[in-house]
Every structure is written in structure tokens, then in C-alpha cells.
Structure 1
Amino acid sequence: MLSVENLRAAYGESQVLFGVSLDVNEGEVVTLLGRNGMGKTTTVNTVFGLLKPRDGRVSVDGIDLTGAEPHRVAEAGLGLVPEGRQIFPTLTVTENLIATARARGPGPAKWTLERIFDLFPRLKERRRNMGNQLSGGEQQMLAIGRALMTNPKLVVLDEATEGLAPLIRQDIWSCLSRLKDEGEAILVIDKNVDALTRLADRHVVLERGNVVWTGSTPDFLATPEIKERFLQV
């Protein structure tokens, strides 16, 4: 579904990615792991056209989207839950959800307002509240719901639970587990490695803009030195 091949990117003269490659298949959950500053968000930004690559290739279902504008990447079926949530603060919850909503294909949309409210009952309770009146956890739920309302082929979450209270984190992990059970393809970044290994099928580890390890969850759990060497502060 998503294929990233030998991706290289830089901010000005400072190169950050040195040939990142990863794939996400239909219905698969893949993590992008690494300490802060290792290139995870830069990889996401480059995939979504927010940063133009120096080299490499990004494709979705075989369609070349390398360096494409963000709206084209969204039209191809990628939905982003960005770091920092970035919801619309002066729109209500409902307005945030319908602002970017779209259906794909001739049939009915898989994700509708009603389904989002079923997934996140708290958002239904706060549906008339403005975005800036929500807690951090509610804003993250709203950001996930907004991405799902584009009915994407793949949902990408950058720092899925960063800065959230423990109970809210559990709500987010439960949501992602439900999405996986429903066959959603997910690429997720987060620092909670234990939760990620319970959720994900495969893992990609970055170190200074390079992929240093990739493998399945059983392989990851059987190789504790990967966590000790590349993920612990």
C-alpha cells in the first residue's frame, strides 16, 4: 500500500534522512521507532509532501507521489494525525470532523460522523464545543477522528499518545486496537514501546536518519539489544 524507497531529505544544508525505506501493507500496523531527533517526523513530513525529498521514491498503491503536494497525498488515501494535533481551534468538534470529510469509491463511506462518535463517545458529548475548549486527550481523539473522516487507506499517527494522561493513553491504544481489528492499515510513531509491541505487526527503527533494524514483533521481542541500543535514552 505505502512504499518508501531510499528516501533522502534535508532542511537547508542539514541532511536528516539518509536512505529510509519502509513498507506498510493492507491491514498492517507498522511502527516507526527511534529516539528524539532521529528522523521519524521528517520521514512523515516527506511522505506527506510537507518537505520535498532530495532523492528516493514514495508511492501509494503503485502511484508515484514523490514530492507531491499534500492535497494529492491525501487524495491518494493517506490520513495524517500530526504531532501536536493541529485541530482547528475556532471550529466545533462536529465542524472539525466534517471540514475535511470525504468518501472514497462509489459505495457509502466507511467512516461517518456517527461512527466517529461511536468510536469516541466523549467527542459526541463535546460535539458543540470549540476545538480550543477541549483537553489534550480530547483534541487527540478529534485529530484521529478527523483523519478517519477522510476515509483513508492508511492512517499515520505521529506521536500517538505524547503528553496525555495515562487513562487517556489507554483510550487511544484501545481505539488503535479496534481500528486494527477492523482492518485499517496504520503507521504509528510513539515512545511507548511496550504498547506498540502489543499492537503492531512490524517495526522500523531509525538512528540518525538511517534504518538500522526492521522486523516483526516476535523478532523485536527476541532481540532486546535493539531496544537497549537504539531506543533507550
Structure 2
Amino acid sequence: VVMGQSALLNLAGWQVAALTHDRSTRFLHYAPLSFDVSYQEIFPTLASGGTVVAREPADRRDFPALVRRVAEAGVTHLFLPAAALRPFARTAADLDVRLPALRHLCVSGEQLVVDDDVRGLFSRLDGCELVNLYGPTETNAATAHVLAGEPETWPAHVPIGRPLPGVAAYVLDRNGRLAPPGVPGELYLGGACLADGYLNDPVRTAAGFVPDRFGPDPDARVYRTGDYVIRDEQGVLVYLGRVDT
């Protein structure tokens, strides 16, 4: 996937503002450099004058070491795969480790489920927000939903949220028409988040990136995510599954 500079700058601009990046930011570099999330860990942090904290040890599945690293390094921002959130929360509880500096814990990669372990972790964190980010590789992060306040009130299955600034999100029914709120359909993404396409593969690019029939720009494209979603009355997107399953 070829991701242009403008899409990455749009994402970085949103992140610096929404996740309150500044010179006090200490973002743990957890993701491999080959994974697109590493961009979100490194560049917005450096652009705002913050510090990228190296991960130790090399094994990303060593949760006791990871929890201690976050605590001892004063990490303020952490990005985890959704599947790693529960083991991280359980390990922090088992070790009775406090994470007083942590302000934003972001997750992505699959459906975010909030259980008692996750609620327990955030009940011990003072003012830390849980940020659920959604987006395929072809768009990077395109929507976000923030959970704050009392963890006991958080839903078990977390929505994928609203589009980031500059991002267009359409829910289309099986006839290719815009689905009204409450009616499920396939999610199409466009606007500032969109990749240029697949490297040296114009056929696949044309199949995945199709004309935007609903926006003002006749040359604009949208990406067919293949994800089945519903938009509620407040405009929040809820992930339901894959269209082909």
C-alpha cells in the first residue's frame, strides 16, 4: 500500500490535538517499524517536542516487563493491539503496578471488548482515556471513539466512533445507496485518510478504490473496507463484522 504524505500529515495533526501531545509527551515505541502504528508513535511525538521511549525487552509478549517499562519510564501515551489490552491490564493488577503518568491508551486491530480486567485497570488510572482507533491499512486510522469517565459505565463492545477530521465515511446498503441511521451496510472511507493505492498493481487498486459518488469532488475516490457497520442516531459507527462472513 502506498500512503501519501498528505494522509499521514492529516493523521498526525489530529493526533497531536486530540491526544494532547506536547513537550511532556512520552510515547512508548511498542509497534514494529514495519507496522503502520509505529508512525503514530514516533512522528506526532517528535513533531510536538515529546520523547519516544524505546521498548524493552525485544519480546513484545513479555507483559510484566512491558508494564514495568511503562511505569518506570513515565510513559504518558501507549498504543496496543486490542488483543494485548486484557493481558496488559491483568498483569498490571497482578503486579500491583501503578501507572500514574499514563494519559492515553490507544488500541486498534480488532473489535475492542471491555471486560472486568480492563475496567479494573482504568479504575486505578487517574484520568486516563481509552481510545479505540479503526482503519484498514489502506486508510490508516480513520475513525476514533474515546472512553473516559467511570469505567463501570463503558459498553462491553466499543464502537469504532466518528470519522477523523477530513475523513469521509459512507455506510452503503446492498444496493449501493446511503443507509440511514440504524440500517447496517458496508463502510466506505475517503477523504484525507486515503492511500494512493497498491504498489504496481493498478487492477487491484481500481477494484478497491472506487469513485466517490457522494462527495463534491468528481475525481475523488473511496475505499471499500469490506466491513459491516451501523451508524447510530448520534453519528457513531458500530462495527458488526465482515461483509463476506
Which TM class, normalised by the smaller chain length? Answer: 0.3 to 0.5
The structure with more helix, counted as a fraction of residues: 1
Larger radius of gyration: 2
Length-normalised TM-score, structure 1? 0.35
With CA pairs under 8 Å and 6+ residues apart, which has the higher RCO, 1 or 2?
1
